[in-house]
Amino acid sequence: MSEASSLRLANTGPIYVTVAAARTFAAVEGIQIIEEARHELAERLRDATENSSEPGKPEKWRARSRSSGLDITAHVVREEREGQLAAVVVAVRVRDWAGGSTRGRGRGVGSAANRGGSDRR
């Protein structure tokens, strides 16, 4: 296993989840309270591995879990927060682990701030 593939998101600094990312996750999981969705999403992304990174674009991190049945791709930007370089989750895409289809109402939504618009895919 290469060093890059063994790196986990939690090892890169604190994980913060934006309201936009939490709302997407909450809609898919049926969570009513956004703060609860933020916390749960951050926990699920702790073991995410880096999927891709292009200069000038958010990093993509992926977390899959057979026990929850979820395949989550997180779009992450780096920001200085409280004196540390933090991983800020700006958007997520949540899919079923088994079939690759989207669960619930979530459809790979990106944040408006990240994509420069308010439309959703």
Return d(Cα 45, Cα 49) in angstroms, integer: 9
- Whether residue 109 is contained in a domain is answered as no
Domain count, the chain: 1
Q: Please give the residue range of the domain that contains residue 80.
A: 3-103
- Whether residue 35 is contained in a domain is answered as yes
Residue 12 per-residue DSSP state: G
- Whether residue 117 is contained in a domain is answered as no
- Whether residue 111 is contained in a domain is answered as no
- pTM passes above 0.85: no
- Whether residue 119 is contained in a domain is answered as no
- Whether residue 34 is contained in a domain is answered as yes
Q: What is the pLDDT along the chain (121 residues), one digit of tens a residue?
A: 444 457 999 999 999 999 999 999 999 999 999 999 999 999 999 999 998 888 889 999 999 988 888 999 999 999 998 888 999 999 999 998 775 444 443 434 443 333 333 332 2
- Whether residue 120 is contained in a domain is answered as no
- Whether residue 114 is contained in a domain is answered as no
Cα first-last separation, the chain: 35
